[in-house]
Every structure is written in C-alpha cells, then in structure tokens.
C-alpha cells in the first residue's frame, strides 16, 4: 500500500543525513608555505590547458585521451574529452569535493565519486580534476632527503580521494619530484613521478609529464602529458552543471 | 550457457580483493622505466563537427510459448520457441558553431531483421539551434531531448521526455519540439549555483502529438540549486496536454565513494487507467505520488553498486496486471476457437498504449553491481543488474560484460534472464532468456 507520508519522511531524512557530513581538520605547519609555492608553480590560479592521458598496458599497447581543462580559483575545475571519438564530448566538473560527469549520450550530469576513473587506467577523477594540494591537504610532517624536502600531507576532510600524500619536493626548483598516494588504511594506492620540466610561457615552468604507476595495477602505467597551459580567467558560471554541454565553446 | 555467464560475472565481480592483497607485496615502478615520446599537437577547434557511431547487434531469444504476452504477440505464428534478431544502428550527430550560435542535428537509423522481415526506421532525435550570448544564458529552439532527474534506472520527474528503459537507461531517445531558456548564476556562498530553466512545449496532432491528450501550449519550469554541496531541483509542468505535475530531486556525495539521490513527483489530479478482465477501460482520478531513493557506492576494489527503490503511484497493482493478462488470455481463446481477432487486436492496442511504458508496477528495487577492470583486465567492465517488481516478486537479471580496449570500439555481451510466476510482470514476458552481442564503432 502506498504511503506518501512515509516516503516523504524517507526523502527528508536522506537529505538531512546527506547535508551534515563529518569533517576532520588538521592544523597548519611551517612547511605550508613551501606547499603553497609548489601549488603556485604547478598551476596558476586560473588557467586553461590541453593534456594527453596515455594508458600503457604490460604488452606495450597504448590508449590515448586528449583533454581540454579549465580552472578557476582554488576549487573549480572542468575537463572536456576531445579524443578519442568514443569519449568526445564527455565532460567532468569539480567544485570542491563535488564532482559530476556529463556524457553526451546520457544527456545529463551525474554525480560521481572522486575515486572513480573516468578513462580506465590508473588516473582517477581527482587526478584529472586536481585542485591545489594546499586546498585539500595540510602538512603534518617534513624531512630532508638529499636535494628533496619530503612533505607528509594529510587530507583536510574525508571527502578527499587520498587520505595521505608523501611528496618529494626539489628544494631548489620548488617543484614536486615524486608523490606517493596512500589510503586511510596505509595502503599505497599509486605513485606520481613528475618529469621533463618545460617552460610553457607566461611565467609557467613546470613538469610537462606526470607518470603514474600503482601496485594495484601491476604492469600497467599511465602518463599525463601537458601540451599547453596558460593563464586565463573565466566567469563563475562556466563551472556549473548547465554549462557542461557547452564547455567546447570555451576553446 | 546461463550458468556459465553468471559464473563468469561472479568470478569477475569477486576479482579485486585478491588484487588488493597481491598489491601489498608487489614492487612499484620507477621513473626510469618510462621511455616514450609524449609530444602531441594541441587540437585546433573546428566550427563544424561530425560524429556518432555504427552499431551491430545480434540477439537470440528463447521464447516462452505459454506466457501471456507471447500469445499476444505471436498467436498467429504458431508455437514460436526461439527467434533471432539482427539490428544495425547508425547514430549520426552533426553540429556547426558560429560565434554564440550552435546548430545540432542528431539522427538515429535502425535496420532490423526479425522473423524473416526487414524493418527500417530513421528518426530525427534532435535538431535545435542554441544561442548563448553569454555564459549565464542559453536559448534553445527546435527538437531536443530534455533530461531531468537524478535517478539511474527511473526518473519520475522527467516531465518533458519519453520514458526510458531501465534495461538500457542510456539508449538514445527522441526529443520533443521545444523552446528552452536557461539562466544560471554562481555565488560565493552556501548557495553556490542557481539555475532557472523554462520550457515551452507546443502540442497538437501534427506537433509533439504524443506529448499528451490536449492541444495547446504547455509550460515546464525547473529551478536548480547547488546548496551546501547538495544538488536540489524543483520542477513543475502545466498545460492542456497533461495534468499539472510538481517534482523535486536531490543528490549529494556523502564521501568520496558514496552518493545518495532521490526524486519525488506529485500529480494532484492524475488519471490512473487500468483494464478489466473483460477488456473494459477503468479510469480513476486522484493524487499520484511517484518517488525513488537511491545510492551509488564504490568499494576500494572498484566495484560500483547502484541501488534504487521506486514507489510508483501510477503503476498497476498485481490485481490490475492479472486482470489485463486475463483479458489477453480470453482474447486469445476467442481467436483460437472462432478466428475472430477483434478482441486480440484490441488487447494489442491496449498493450501498446497502456502497458509498454516503464515501469509497469508499483514498487521496484533496482540493483546494479559493476566491476571495473576485473582481474586486472584494463577496459573490461563486468556487471550484473537486477530489477525486481516487489509486488509480484518477479524479476529480471542481466549479467553483462563490456570491453573498450580497442580505440573507438565498444564490445558488449548481455544475457537477459526473466523470472516470475503466473500473471506476474516478468513471468509473462514473451522471452525468458535473451542473449545479445553488440559491437559499436565510434567515429
């Protein structure tokens, strides 16, 4: 028998439960300034970029994806798949901890989780739609390792994809050399290797290649290559669900 | 074959924990192992674009000659126990962009070979012009698919679209001819985004004829809020073609691996139509509530669960479904004993008009478990989807495997298993098993 009141109660309860998540906060440390500098060198606050993702299988077979992405401020990122044809028009939006995926055939944005991989392979959504490290993590420990400063970063909230990062930062260039990503259980999920520092112009000099491997995917490797990255300002409304089908018009 | 397919899916769904266990001991790569040339040319935007896909699908159906809907469909073709179905589909999308204007046309052409007959259908799914003078505003005119709602299998608040098939939620559908205005604004506050959508839907015998019964101009509206990291929509539909309807939906991520969503639609003066055992059409008017509540959960092993519960106040009760099946049985008996097909034709017409939409029943559970890259096989996704009518306990179970490892190809294998007792929704379907193999080439 249909009970509209009971159903309404369930919907309201589900919404209230959803509206009050539990957050954890970690305090600042002296190395926060170094992390901010790393962020500033890796990506301007507002920019557009063209990237290629390459998944490499153990037998050497490769599958490639080309993305256009735009970022505004500390917590708004959008990415549009340009190639291959099977992924063309697929767009992802990130506003802080919220992520949505728009697939042209589906025709409406769906909420997704930051841990999922849109492309297959080792890069997750949060890698592709990465925010500033200092936006999501606090430095909880630091140690010197030769030419590198090793920062241990703790996620500020439970909504962040990786609970803890261990980042090797080149002390001279103030750029990351390697980052290990850990789950809350302490399990190593993946390692990012930053390579091939390139001058992209307009004051942006950063690694152009990020190679990723994961003990969860033995023999598989993923690579992210930056083809172009340049500062550009966008209106706030670009980073909304309504705009997802129109991201291509930014190019 | 059925057991083999289910076994394969269970094997793949259970694959990841061993992966995680292996991972603890496996060495990681070092940067020096990578040695590729990663240069690429930045693609230049083009004003025009042509894309789409070509699909070939082969289906084998094991029929149940004793089921009521088999008798309805194939009574004049003897005791048909199996059939093949071949489908080739061309989905073509052409767009042209100039300044703030964009023209988009999407067509769907199906060529079907079934029971010795060829059937060819081409339909214009979308053809509209969009004018977006600024990022905050978009106006669209023409034939367009509007998709509202947060549900995966069902969308009670999809007031201006044709119903979707929960077995194939992403199947392309035809739009309606509309005029749409879309306004959006962002704020640095708890209310992060506000979006307002207004839709005009003309309906007459020559335009949007299947939108509803009455002719005239219909108006639909939607207000979207991203408030405190929660998607909220409120919608309304009013006009001469359909009873006035109100709706709301929400979605929110509770954690990086858990999303919850829901929809609720309310029709204060809705008509519920059923068919009596004698074929009489019975219409009652009253309040109709339709709602879904769902979640999407991702396990550490990349296994995604989508669970949805639906309460469909406009659905048929078990007794109403049984009455309709009794009418079909009687129509078949009359045809077989006298050769008079008048009742049978009437039953077929009613089935088309009243019983072909989804969902049919009043309470459903939908559960989909989808494993990405089982056993470390990149680009392979295996899944099992269960849809159960809770009133009559009948269900469909669909094990599936999709492989996308070849660039621009998608290969899919699905097995449909339908089960249920006499006079139940899935128990009386014409086929009890269906195997489908699909190859899709994107261009």
Is the minimum CB–CB distance between A84 and chain B shorter than 8 Å? yes
Going by pLDDT thresholds of 50, 70 and 90, the confidence category of residue A23 is very low
Is the minimum CB–CB distance between A187 and chain B shorter than 8 Å? yes
- Interchain pair A211, B31: CB under 8 A: yes
As a whole number, the mean pLDDT across chain A is: 84
Q: Quick one: pLDDT at residue A230?
A: 92
Q: Which residues of chain A have a CB within 8 Å of the CB of B130? A: 246
Is the minimum CB–CB distance between A48 and chain B shorter than 8 Å? no
**Residue A117: which of B103, B240, B404, B215 has the closest Cα?**
B404
Going by pLDDT thresholds of 50, 70 and 90, the confidence category of residue B332 is confident
- Interchain pair A8, B264: CB under 8 A: yes
d(CA B386, CA A204): 51
Q: Which residues of chain A have a CB within 8 Å of the CB of B305? A: none
Is a pLDDT exceeding 80 seen at residue A53?
Answer: yes
Mean pLDDT of A184-196: 91
Count how many pairs of residues, chain A against chain B, have C-beta atoms within 8 Å: 232
d(CA B140, CA B162): 19
Is the minimum CB–CB distance between B160 and chain A shorter than 8 Å? no
What distance in Å separates residue B48's CA from the closest CA in chain A? Answer: 12
Going by pLDDT thresholds of 50, 70 and 90, the confidence category of residue B44 is confident
**Residue A159: which of A104, A112, A197, A229 has the closest Cα?**
A112
| B180: its two tokens | 């749409």
Q: Is B307 left (phi over 0), alpha (psi -120 to 50) or beta?
A: beta
Is a pLDDT exceeding 80 seen at residue B211?
Answer: yes
Is a pLDDT exceeding 60 seen at residue B1?
Answer: no
- For A216-251, the three-class secondary structure string (H helix, E strand, C coil) is CCCCCEEEEEEEEEEECCCCHHHHCHHHHHHHHHHC
- Interchain pair A18, B260: CB under 8 A: yes
Going by pLDDT thresholds of 50, 70 and 90, the confidence category of residue A78 is very high
Contact status, residue B268 vs residue B289, Cβ threshold 8 Å = no
Model-level pTM? Answer: 0.83
Is the minimum CB–CB distance between B193 and chain A shorter than 8 Å? yes
Mean pLDDT of B308-329: 92
State yes or no: ipTM above 0.85: no
What distance in Å separates residue A30's CA from the closest CA in chain B? Answer: 29
For residue A84, say if its preceding peptide bond is cis, omega within 30 degrees of 0: yes
Q: Which residue of A has its CA nearest to B379?
A: A120
Q: What is the pLDDT of residues A126-174, one digit of tens each?
A: 778 888 899 889 999 989 888 899 999 999 887 787 889 999 999 889 9
Is the minimum CB–CB distance between A27 and chain B shorter than 8 Å? no
Fold of A24-250: outer membrane lipoprotein receptor (LolB), chain A (2.50.20)
For residue B359, say if its preceding peptide bond is cis, omega within 30 degrees of 0: yes
Q: Which residues of chain B have a CB within 8 Å of the CB of A251? A: 45
Is the minimum CB–CB distance between A246 and chain B shorter than 8 Å? yes
Mean pLDDT of B387-411: 94
Is a pLDDT exceeding 90 seen at residue A222?
Answer: no
Q: Quick one: pLDDT at residue B24?
A: 35
Is the minimum CB–CB distance between B395 and chain A shorter than 8 Å? no
């Amino acid at each position: 028998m249909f009970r509209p009141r009971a159903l309404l109660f369930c919907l309201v309860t589900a919404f209230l439960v959803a509206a009050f998540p539990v957050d954890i906060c970690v305090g600042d440390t002296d190395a926060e300034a170094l992390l901010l500098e790393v962020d500033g060198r890796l990506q301007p606050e507002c920019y557009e970029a063209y990237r290629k993702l390459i998944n490499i299988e153990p037998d050497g077979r490769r599958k490639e994806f080309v993305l256009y992405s735009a970022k505004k401020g500390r917590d708004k990122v959008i990415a549009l798949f340009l190639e291959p044809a099977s992924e063309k028009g697929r767009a992802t939006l990130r506003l802080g901890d919220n992520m949505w995926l728009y697939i042209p055939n589906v025709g409406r944005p769906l909420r997704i989780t930051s841990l999922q991989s849109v492309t297959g392979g080792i890069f997750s959504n949060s890698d592709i739609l990465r925010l500033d490290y200092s936006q999501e993590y606090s430095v909880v420990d630091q140690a010197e390792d030769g030419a590198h400063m090793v920062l241990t970063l703790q996620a500020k909230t439970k909504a962040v994809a990786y609970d803890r990062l261990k980042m090797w930062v080149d002390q001279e260039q103030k750029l990351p050399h390697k980052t290990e990503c850990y789950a809350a259980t302490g399990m190593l999920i993946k390692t990012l290797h930053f390579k091939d520092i390139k001058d992209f112009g307009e004051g942006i000099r950063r690694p152009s290649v990020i190679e990723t491997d994961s003990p969860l995917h033995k023999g598989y490797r993923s690579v992210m290559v930056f083809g172009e990255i340049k500062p550009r300002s966008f209106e706030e409304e670009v980073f909304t669900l309504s705009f997802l089908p129109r991201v291509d018009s930014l190019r | 074959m059925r057991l083999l397919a289910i076994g394969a899916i269970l094997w793949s769904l259970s694959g990841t924990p061993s992966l995680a266990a292996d991972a603890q001991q496996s060495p990681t790569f070092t940067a020096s192992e990578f040695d590729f040339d990663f240069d690429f040319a930045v693609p230049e935007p083009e004003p025009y674009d042509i894309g789409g896909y070509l699909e070939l699908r082969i289906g084998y159906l094991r029929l149940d000659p004793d089921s009521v809907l088999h008798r309805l469909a194939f009574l004049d073709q003897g005791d048909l126990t199996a059939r093949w179905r071949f489908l080739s589909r061309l989905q073509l999308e052409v767009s042209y962009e100039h300044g703030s204007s964009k023209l988009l046309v999407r067509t769907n052409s199906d060529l079907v070979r079934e029971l010795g007959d060829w059937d060819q259908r081409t339909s214009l799914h979308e053809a509209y012009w969009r004018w977006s003078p600024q990022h905050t505003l978009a106006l669209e005119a023409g034939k367009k698919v509007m998709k509202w709602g947060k549900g995966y299998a069902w969308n009670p608040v999809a007031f201006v679209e044709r119903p979707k098939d929960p077995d194939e939620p992403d199947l392309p559908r035809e739009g309606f001819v509309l005029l749409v205005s879309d306004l959006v604004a962002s704020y640095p506050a708890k209310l992060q985004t506000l979006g307002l959508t207004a839709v005009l839907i003309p309906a007459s015998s020559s335009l949007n004829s299947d939108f509803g019964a009455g002719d005239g101009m219909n108006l639909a509206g939607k207000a979207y809020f991203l408030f405190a990291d929660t998607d909220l929509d409120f919608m309304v539909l009013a006009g001469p073609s359909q009873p006035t309807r109100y709706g709301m939906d929400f979605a929110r991520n509770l954690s990086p691996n858990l999303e919850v969503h829901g929809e609720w639609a309310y029709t204060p003066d809705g008509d519920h139509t059923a068919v009596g055992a004698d074929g009489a059409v019975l219409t009652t008017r009253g309040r109709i509530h339709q709602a879904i509540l769902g979640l999407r959960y991702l396990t550490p092993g990349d296994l995604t669960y989508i669970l949805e519960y639906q309460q469909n106040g406009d659905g048929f009760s078990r007794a109403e479904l049984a009455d309709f099946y009794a009418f079909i049985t009687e129509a078949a008996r009359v045809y077989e004993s006298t050769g008079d097909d008048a009742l049978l034709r009437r039953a077929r017409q009613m089935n088309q008009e009243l019983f072909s939409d989804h969902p049919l029943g009043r309470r459903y559970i939908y559960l989909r478990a989808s494993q990405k890259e089982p056993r470390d096989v990149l680009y392979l996704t295996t899944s099992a989807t269960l849809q159960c009518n809770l009133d009559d306990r009948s269900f469909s179970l669909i094990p599936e495997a999709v492989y996308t490892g070849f660039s621009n190809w998608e290969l899919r294998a699905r097995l449909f298993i339908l089960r249920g007792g006499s006079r139940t929704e899935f128990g009386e379907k014409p086929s009890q098993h269906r195997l489908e193999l699909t190859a899709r080439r994107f261009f």
